[in-house]
Structure 1
Amino acid sequence: MNISLLRTKIHRATVTGADLNYEGSVSICPDLIKASGLLMNERVDIYNCNNGARFSTYVIKGKKGEICLNGAAARHVQKGDLVIICSYCGLSMDEAKKHEPTVVFVNAKNKVTEKRKEDRKNNK
């Protein structure tokens, strides 16, 4: 049996744009993609801290400092909103007990302030 666990999270990133006429996706700063370990075209869930919206899209490379929601997802955010971006993975129960997701914290300009592995003490 596999279960779904958090793989990586970018915590409280600031939305820098919303482009309704773009094809779709979320454009994410290359530094944040690298720090979080996200992959191009990877599915992510986005949680808007300002309005409570929750939705899924996929990752594309953006410009430095950018978090831009594109296409239909642009309807769920406004410039300046804070969002949490998460990806998940399917793991066996044994793998889950050892799993430590990556969490990236950012400042208001979407620069990494801290990166850490989440504690797995409760997964025994």
Structure 2
Amino acid sequence: MIIELLKSKIHRVKVTQAELNYVGSITIDEDLLDAANIIPNEKVQIVNNNNGERFETYAIKGERGTGTVCLNGATARKVQVGDILIIMSFGSLPMEEAKKYKPILVFPDDNNRLLK
């Protein structure tokens, strides 16, 4: 049996921008993407802690070291600048491998920067 499980999570990042007139996606600081092992164009699920919205889109690379977390296109309507998000990606593994898998958890600071 193959099951889907949490691959990685960026926990409690702050929305820095929302751009309605954009093709779509979420722009995330490349440092955060690297730390979470999320690649450009990977599907992500997003939970907005401020309003309870939960939605899916795909990740695009933002400028490294900026702390950028920008919702683009229609998803811009689901957030306000300053909202706190959880960004998750998932993967599929055989049951026995899944039992041993440890997801990557990233806990940035209040400015969306990696803690040193």
For the aligned pair, the TM-score class normalised by the smaller chain equals over 0.9
Q: How does 1:39-54 map to 2 (within 5 A)?
A: 39-54=39-54
Q: How does 1:56-67 map to 2 (within 5 A)?
A: 56-63=56-63, 64-67=66-69
SS at match of 2:86: strand
CA distance in 2 between counterparts of 1:39 and 1:30 reads 9
Q: CA deviation at 1:107?
A: 1.2
Q: CA deviation at 1:97?
A: 1.2
CA distance in 2 between counterparts of 1:75 and 1:109 reads 22
Query: TM-score, structure 2 length as denominator?
Result: 0.95
Q: CA deviation at 1:113?
A: 2.1
Unaligned runs of 5+ in 2: none
Query: Which of the numbers 91, 98, 101 marks the counterpart of 2:100?
Result: 98
Q: How does 1:33-44 map to 2 (within 5 A)?
A: 33-44=33-44
Unaligned runs of 5+ in 1: 115-124
CA distance in 2 between counterparts of 1:2 and 1:110 reads 34
Greater relative contact order (Cα 8 A, min sep 6): structure 1 or 2? Answer: 2
Structure 2 letter corresponding to 1:17: Q
The aligned residue for residue 120 of structure 1 is: none
CA distance in 2 between counterparts of 1:19 and 1:44 reads 18
> Share of identical aligned residues, percent?
53
The aligned residue for residue 89 of structure 2 is: 87
Query: TM-score, structure 1 length as denominator?
Result: 0.89
Query: Which of the numbers 74, 77, 83 marks the counterpart of 2:76?
Result: 74
CA distance in 1 between counterparts of 2:9 and 2:85 reads 10
Please tell me the root mean square deviation across aligned C-alpha atoms, in Å: 0.9
Q: How many residues align?
A: 114
